[in-house]
A and B are shown apart, each in its own frame.
Chain A
Amino acid sequence: MATPEPLIASAPLDSEGFARLSARRLLTLAGIGMILAGMIFGDIFAVFVLHQNAAHVGGSLASAAQAAADGDVAAVASHFKNTGAFLENRGTKVDTHVHLIAFGYLALLLALVQPWVKFAEASRRRLAWLLVFGAVLLPVGVFLIHYVGLAHSPLRTIGWASIFADLGGLLVLVATIGYLVGIGRHFLLRQAFQPDKLLRDRSTAARWLLAGGLCLILAGFVHGAYYAASDLYRHEEADYKILSQMSSAAAAHNQAQINQSMTDYGQLQGDKAVKIAAHAHIIEFGLLAMLLAFFQPYVQLSEIWKVRWAGVLLCGSVLLPVCVLLEMRYGLLAGGIADIGGLLVIVALLAMWIGTLRYTGSVDAMTSGAQP
């Protein structure tokens, strides 16, 4: 016989706001699920595709430069085409990762503001389904762009995968506009903010996540401002300059200069990539921590474990961007620690998602128990 856990679900169950198939429950579970899927996809992409792809891009560029030095026009065109395909492969994978996570954040945000959306529950639920459907369709479509290409497409430059991706984006846009109208109605009717269980939580885990998240975002902004002031324009200028040097060296059959330009270009791209990745990840993790702070009442775990998972999430959120920044100096060692940071965030998020699932089970059990 199952025994009740006194330390778990000390907060009263929100059977009305988090009812079965309610818009808030759908957006909450789908939101955390999408963030998890996006992060796991990002990890798999980083380990199995990103590094190999970067090597292919570098190899193709080197071959193109060599072919130019040899005067082989057909080979240059072929190598450039290959480089383009590798860049497209990388771009669509990054877009899949980013959009899945961003739509997860949006779903969580909209779950939080549900009490202020002045529509009937059925309409809110339809908007939630529309948003979730579009939010899944867009990343899946973007992922397939590289593989489907222009096959059977009625258009000259846009393939079916792109068409469905754009349709997904449009659905998310429509759902978001719908929620904005609902919130606008709430304000137009001059209704007071309803007391909401999620916004009243002052638990230790929630406070840690809120304060930690805000500090992470602030650190990300300061780093972004520093990057823009010190590196952004220098990088853009160097990008063009190195490619020009490479072309000139190829035209002059100067193999030593070609090799030097290749090395410089690789260094530049690496430097750009780690700085932008660190900036983006620290802000995204900060936002995630702040969002999860509000959902702590729905995480049905004991208080001590909620604090532990909050600590693990914040620890991983600092470790990943810092180690990504150190990757250019310490190479794979820093990269490996950064991956561990990402894994910590994923594990903590998974634990909170399971805690939320337990909460839904309790709410459903209570509801079905109340109805004979």
Chain B
Amino acid sequence: MSARQILLLGGISLAILGMSYGLWYAVFAEHQALDGIGHSLSSGFQAADDRQVDVHGHWIGLAMLLIVLAIGFDHVGLPEKIKLQLAWALFLGSALFPLGVLMQTWSHGPLPRAVAVLGSGLVTVALAGMVLGLMRRQNA
């Protein structure tokens, strides 16, 4: 699988995952929470969990970034092998980071935080690599 395929197919798959999660959350949790929030503020606060919205937003946001990077991959001036590693790091990080955030709604232990930190670290480092590659290409 080429780096561009990983980013493109991975990005659209993550976007679909994020949308499906958002749709599920809207239908089965959010509307009921909105209804409840008008009658009882305290129960509304318990039901409306910011983390759920963060998961939906981050999965789709990172997915769009993957697709943009797939489209502009020709502009990144790095060897193919490194580009492939960056693409895998970006995809795995983009999948893991919101998953770690989602896991925090089930458990407050160290594992969910570790997953979220690992995911965000992978995305940040890979993106920094992309910036370097882009600068190399522009200087070339």
Q: Name A residues whose Cβ lies closer than 8 Å to a Cβ of B.
A: 80-81, 83-85, 87-88, 91-92, 98, 102, 105-106, 109, 112-113, 116, 145, 150, 157-159, 162, 165-166, 169-170, 172-173, 176-177, 179-180, 183-184, 187, 193, 199, 207, 210-211, 214-215, 217-218, 221-222, 224-225, 228, 243, 280, 283-284, 287, 290-291, 293-294
CB distance from A96 to the nearest CB of B (A): 13
Main SS of chain B's interface residues?
A: helix
A287 and B38 within 8 A (CB): no
Binary interface encoding of chain B residues 40-55 relative to chain A, with 1 for a CB under 8 A from any of its CBs, else 0: 1110110000000000
Q: How far, in angstroms, from A92 to B37 measured CA to CA in the complex?
A: 13
B12 and A214 within 8 A (CB): no
12 contacts between A and B (CB under 8 A): A98-B57, A145-B34, A150-B35, A157-B31, A157-B32, A166-B23, A176-B16, A176-B19, A187-B9, A210-B134, A290-B68, A290-B72
A210 and B37 within 8 A (CB): no
A176 and B15 within 8 A (CB): yes
CB distance from B6 to the nearest CB of A (A): 11
Taking A225-B120, A287-B68 as contacts, is the C-beta distance between A81 and B127 under 8 angstroms? no
Interfacial chain A residues near B27, Cβ < 8 Å: 158, 166
- Further pairs besides A159-B31, A217-B65: 6, Cβ < 8 Å: A157-B35, A162-B31, A180-B12, A187-B9, A221-B123, A287-B64
Interfacial chain A residues near B75, Cβ < 8 Å: 210
Q: Name B residues whose Cβ lies closer than 8 Å to a Cβ of A.
A: 4-5, 8-9, 12-13, 15-16, 19-20, 22-23, 26-27, 31-32, 34-35, 37-42, 44-45, 57, 60-61, 64-65, 67-68, 71-72, 74-75, 116, 120-121, 123-124, 127-128, 130-131, 134-135, 138
Interfacial chain B residues near A294, Cβ < 8 Å: 71-72
Interfacial chain B residues near A83, Cβ < 8 Å: 41
CB distance from A271 to the nearest CB of B (A): 15
Inter-chain contact total with CB atoms closer than 8 Å: 127
CB distance from A231 to the nearest CB of B (A): 13
A214 and B127 within 8 A (CB): yes
A217 and B127 within 8 A (CB): yes
CB distance from A151 to the nearest CB of B (A): 13
